């Protein structure tokens, strides 16, 4: 687990991640997406065009304006990850329990899933991990941001499953 505390450190991590993404922006360019579509198929193309391209833009453009959409300048962020020997679900389960514990202490929390996939593969990712003292490449991982929420919710969001099967 990586724990980053304090506004300056949390902001510095976000700024560094934004710069890191700037170096990978070609992955969301139209020429690259058109080139890759036959190789990775419709589903990945839709993921890149409909989610990752706007995400890159929001993260990098807003950081240039001083708005931190990466970790929201939370006073505390925690990164749950594991070695390759662990079950891939372990970091997610641990993060979920941390969120429950935070809630019991009156803290707000949010899972931030977009950072982890980008820091797993390649030489630049390895350098980023080393710079931030992330010890292992991990199949699964998740950041959570914690702090005192400005908003108090009275009711949760009703969600449905895409598919349900009863036996």
- DSSP secondary structure, 100-111, as one string: HHHHHTT-EEEE
The first and second tokens of residue 101, run together, are 């514990």
Average pLDDT estimate for 101-127: 94
Q: Which residue has the higher pLDDT, 166 or 11?
A: 11
CATH number of 1-167: 3.40.109
Give residue-wise pLDDT tens across range 30-76. Answer: 999 999 999 999 999 999 999 999 999 999 999 999 999 999 999 99
What pLDDT score was predicted for residue 157? 82
Q: Could you give the percent of the chain with pLDDT greater than 70?
A: 100
Q: Which residue has the higher pLDDT, 151 or 167?
A: 167
pLDDT by residue (tens digit) across 78-94?
A: 999 999 899 999 999 99
Q: Above 90 in pLDDT, residue 129?
A: yes
**Residue 163 pLDDT level (bands cut at 50, 70, 90):** confident
Read off the pLDDT band of 164 (50, 70, 90). confident
Long-range contacts of 146-153 (CB under 8 A, 24+ apart): 146/74, 146/75, 146/76, 146/77, 146/78, 146/102, 146/107, 146/108, 146/109, 147/74, 147/75, 147/76, 147/107, 147/108, 148/106, 148/107, 148/108, 149/107, 149/108, 151/108
Average pLDDT, rounded, for the chain: 93
Q: Where are the domains of the chain?
A: 1-167
């Amino acid at each position: 687990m990586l724990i980053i505390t304090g506004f300056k450190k949390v902001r510095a991590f976000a700024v560094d991640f934004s710069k890191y993404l700037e170096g990978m922006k070609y992955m969301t360019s139209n020429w690259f997406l058109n080139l890759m579509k036959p190789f990775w198929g419709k589903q990945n193309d839709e993921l890149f065009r409909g989610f990752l391209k706007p995400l890159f833009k929001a993260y990098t453009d807003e950081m240039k304006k001083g708005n931190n959409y990466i970790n929201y300048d939370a006073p505390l962020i925690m990164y749950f990850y594991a070695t390759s020997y662990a079950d891939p679900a372990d970091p997610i389960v641990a993060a979920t329990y941390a969120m429950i514990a935070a809630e019991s202490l009156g803290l707000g929390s949010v899972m931030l899933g977009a950072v982890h996939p980008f820091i797993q593969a390649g030489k630049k990712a390895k350098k980023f991990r080393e710079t931030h003292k992330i010890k292992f490449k991990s199949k699964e991982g998740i950041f959570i941001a914690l702090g005192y929420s400005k908003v108090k919710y009275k009711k949760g969001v009703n969600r449905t499953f895409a598919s349900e099967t009863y036996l």
